[in-house]
Amino acid sequence: MIVVIQRASEASVKIEGEIKSEIGTGLMILLGIEEADTVEDISWLSKKIINLRIFPDENEVMNKSLLDVNGEILLISQFTLHASTKKGNRPSYIKAAKPDIAIPMYEKMIATLEAELGKAIGTGEFGADMKVSLVNDGPVTIVIDSKNKV
């Protein structure tokens, strides 16, 4: 499982011209799910995301977590994070999980993040053509792969 985490002062996602979700201060997260991912990946990543100290304290040092700043989350499923570009110029998405695996994993990640955060999070819609807007605060962008946790 791969996540691209962007610290945001605001973010939103539109589907067919209508805002599906929007957040203020928090994290806009792109989530890539692959066939080999498990609930352990979800558990580890959600704890890492919620406790990641990337918000500034009173001295402007990145020392506060999402919980510390009462931040929000916008979670967007994005299979293209698992693109393989080693061969040729057309990306291959063979590692990306098929919908029968990815949708339940995405829903489990939503539920886990909501439980960890203690409130509802914003989401996109799996498989939809989405328009994501973001004001990246900092900018701060971090990529985490659950397969590299050791």
Neighbours of 115 (CB within 10 A): 11
What range defines the domain where residue 30 resides?
2-148
> Which structure tokens are listed for 53?
């100290």
> Which amino acid would we find at residue 45?
L
- Catalytic site residue from 38, 80, 112, 141: 80
Q: Is 80 a catalytic residue?
A: yes
CATH of the domain at 74: 3.50.80.10
Q: Please, what sign has the CA dihedral across residues 37, 40, 41, 43?
A: positive
Please name which of 32, 34, 113 lies closest in space to residue 76, comparing C-alpha atoms: 32
Structure confidence at residue 120 (pLDDT): 97
Structure confidence at residue 94 (pLDDT): 84
Q: Please give the model's pTM, rounded to 2 decimal places.
A: 0.94
Tens of pLDDT along the chain (150 residues) come to: 999 999 999 999 999 999 999 999 999 999 999 999 999 999 999 999 999 999 999 999 999 999 999 999 999 999 988 888 888 898 888 889 999 999 999 999 999 999 999 999 999 999 999 999 999 999 999 999 998 877
Q: Please state the domain count of the chain.
A: 1
Task: State the Cα torsion 131-136-142-144 to the nearest 10°.
Answer: -30
Structure confidence at residue 149 (pLDDT): 78
Structure confidence at residue 85 (pLDDT): 87
